Amino acid sequence: MTPTIDERIREVAAAENLLVALDFDGTLSPLVADPMAARATPDAKRALERLASCRGVTVALVSGRSLVDLRIIAEHDDDSPFWLAGSHGAERWRPAGAPPVDEVVGDAGDTGVAVAARAAADGFEGAWIEDKQFGFALHTRTSPDGVEPRAQRAVDEVVERLAPDWRRRGGKHVLEFSWRHEGKDGAVAELRAQTGADAVIFAGDDVTDEDALRSLEPGDLGIRVGPGDTAAALTVADTPELAAVLTRVAELRAS
């Protein structure tokens, strides 16, 4: 008999060592026009704090954001118990006492690619380029109808011409290019190994989160936030529903 969702939640919450790894934008925070204005909702923040206080639980944020930006929007300081994987796992932060992480190495990407992409995006209303640690992202959330595909096509042409080996990632009104190729599946695998997790809960809302959701093992729980094709076992409508699930997990751990 296939277990119900409540049974799946109970099973994963009962793991001796549980890793709760979560995307941030659109998952813990609603999507906003200004990326740096994103903040976790109060309910989501309380749920994470409760989980982090439970014995045997590690909370991690796994984001496409650069580490410096992730720490700002997550209101994360050096005393935080939350583990971080930024830039899709290419950048990591660990609390005191956790296993150390290797320094990021490799040749820097060609900054001329971002300059050319910015020139291409300037011709489209509402489109703008965000510089990132290992590349850049084209944002079109505030573009009028019909502009997004044309802006993306123009920037695609720039990258295909100047940096065809860069990794391309699509998302909700964002198109990201990076000269590093790490993904959230690898970030979750590293976090699982470093924390000795017996089970993982991973939640995300976008295409890049599906890499991690597809990589989950039997006994894990994947959660998709919002609509879309997904490999997740559980889909919730929005951030408040996810916060309720996380709160439920925290209650089960506390009991």
Residue pLDDT, tens place only, 160-210: 999 999 999 999 999 999 999 999 999 999 999 999 999 999 999 999 999
pTM metric for this prediction: 0.87
CA neighbor of 91 nearest in space, from 116, 61, 121, 117 = 61
The torsion angles phi and psi of 22, rounded to 5 degrees, stand at -135, 135
CA–CA gap between residue 202 and residue 245 (Å, rounded): 12
Q: Where are the domains of the chain?
A: 5-104+182-254, 111-178
pLDDT bracket for residue 150 (50, 70, 90): very high
Q: What band does 1 get if pLDDT is binned at 50, 70 and 90?
A: very low
Residue whose C-alpha is closest to residue 142's, from 50, 34, 222, 218: 34
Over residues 48-75, the mean pLDDT reads 97
Model pLDDT for residues 225-241, shown as the tens digit of each residue: 999 999 999 999 999 99
Q: 84 is written with which tokens?
A: 């971080």
> Which has the closest alpha carbon to 120: 150, 164, 165?
150
pLDDT of the residue at 192: 98
According to the CATH classification, is domain 5-104+182-254 in 3.40.50.1000? yes
pLDDT band, very low/low/confident/very high, at 108 (cuts 50, 70, 90): low
Q: Is the pLDDT of residue 249 over 90?
A: yes
Tell me which of 45 and 1 has the higher pLDDT.
Answer: 45
Question: For position 154, what pLDDT does the model report?
Answer: 97
Q: Is pLDDT above 70 for 46?
A: yes
